[in-house]
Amino acid sequence: MNKQSPGSTATVIQTFLVDVFSPDMRLYNNGLCQVMLLVEIVADMQLSPSEIATLRIVDGITKLEIPMVDSSLPVPARTWGASKERNLYDFHPGTRKAARDSSRAGEFFQFYVQTADQSNARKRLAASIELDSGLKVYSTDVSGSDSYVEVLAVEASPQPISAWETQWNDSMKFDVADGKSVTVYFLGLTVNGASREIRDIQVGEDGYASAFRWLAVSAKTGAFCGFAAPPTDDQRVQSFTYSQPQFIGTYRLDNNESPRTGCAAVAFIHDLKLGNYQSAANGPHITYQMRDQYGTLSRVRLSITEKCDEMQLSLAADDGSSLDGQ
């Protein structure tokens, strides 16, 4: 490749390659899982910054541009998006195939593509660039079968309740002074005997982080809960989040001091002296939304039992109701 000289601009694209550089050409159709593309360009002159800024991923058949998106947000249903940023979710597992022979003389650029297209939708992806001369060049017009890749959107289904039970049933319990006890439940997945990490947890559509329940309208004994995000490399100990703190009483668990990798946590506090029944308190159910390491969304519903001594776990529908009839 020739070096840039003052006043010179690229006039000819000699090589324009697109390849998959993530472990697999598949990606989950959850709107967030990405496939990484590597674009290689060889031109008669080094590309200028303004030319590089026009580089885009396009549909390899229609030549329509794949919209640039914020990679941290799921793309809308039945759409595709491209970005220059990798998000926090893992690629679809696979074994990286042998790389194509490279000219090693080119300039290399990385893109990430994500989709919420229907299952088994296959997409041909190519690239385009506009030179400073005004000429728009498509990889498919330059490098033949090496100018595009085929990627495949595969189904991203939430896991059954059984996948949550291993971590949920392995809870931690301890007593606190003055009639208070704490149970820390863990929200994590076990799929085919292997752990699948939870990367993010958010409140449900109602916006509540906590659920409350009293033994009776006339009772002071009750219980409530809050949640903590999964530990990260930068912050292992996460704080618990609660809502409606005016109903919590004199004690809450502030931090998850025993984090479990790949798991969100729920602090459940049983309190003999929680205080008077509050009709305005949210409960006795709470819904949390979580995304696993591949970006797939799951909703779970937690319910405080009538005795206020434990929580029960079920899957939640989009509206927060239980899919298990609880």
Q: Is the pLDDT of residue 2 over 60?
A: no
Q: What is the mean pLDDT of the chain?
A: 94
Q: Is the pLDDT of residue 4 over 90?
A: no
Mean pLDDT of 146-165: 96
What is the DSSP secondary structure assignment for residue 87, as one 8-state letter?
-
Mean pLDDT of 238-253: 97
pLDDT of residue 104: 62
- Cα separation, 61 vs 75, whole angstroms: 21
Residue that has been written with the tokens 């990260």 in this structure? 232
- Cα separation, 317 vs 301, whole angstroms: 9
pLDDT of 179-211, one tens digit each? 999 999 999 999 999 999 999 999 999 999 999
Sequence-distant (≥ 6) Cβ neighbours of residue 144 within 8 angstroms: none
Sequence-distant (≥ 6) Cβ neighbours of residue 294 within 8 angstroms: 28, 30, 32, 33, 89, 90, 92, 156, 196
pLDDT of 29-66, one tens digit each? 999 999 999 999 999 999 999 999 999 999 999 999 99
- Cα separation, 262 vs 264, whole angstroms: 7
Closest C-alpha to 198, from 207, 209, 186, 189: 189
> Which residues of the chain are in CATH 2.60.40 domains?
13-154
pLDDT of 72-94, one tens digit each? 999 999 999 999 999 999 999 99
pLDDT of 309-319, one tens digit each? 999 999 998 77
pLDDT of 285-308, one tens digit each? 999 999 999 999 999 999 999 999
pLDDT of residue 99: 56
pLDDT of residue 320: 73
Domain 13-154 fold: Immunoglobulin-like (2.60.40)
How many residues belong to the chain? 326
pLDDT of residue 100: 57
Q: Is the pLDDT of residue 1 over 50?
A: no
Q: Is the pLDDT of residue 115 over 60?
A: yes
- Work out the pLDDT band at 95, boundaries 50, 70, 90: confident
pLDDT of 11-34, one tens digit each? 899 999 999 999 999 999 999 999
* Contact (CB, 8 A) for 194 and 213: no
Mean pLDDT of 159-169: 98
pLDDT of residue 214: 99
Mean pLDDT of 212-227: 98
- Work out the pLDDT band at 6, boundaries 50, 70, 90: very low
How much of the chain exceeds pLDDT 90, in percent?
A: 89
- Work out the pLDDT band at 9, boundaries 50, 70, 90: confident
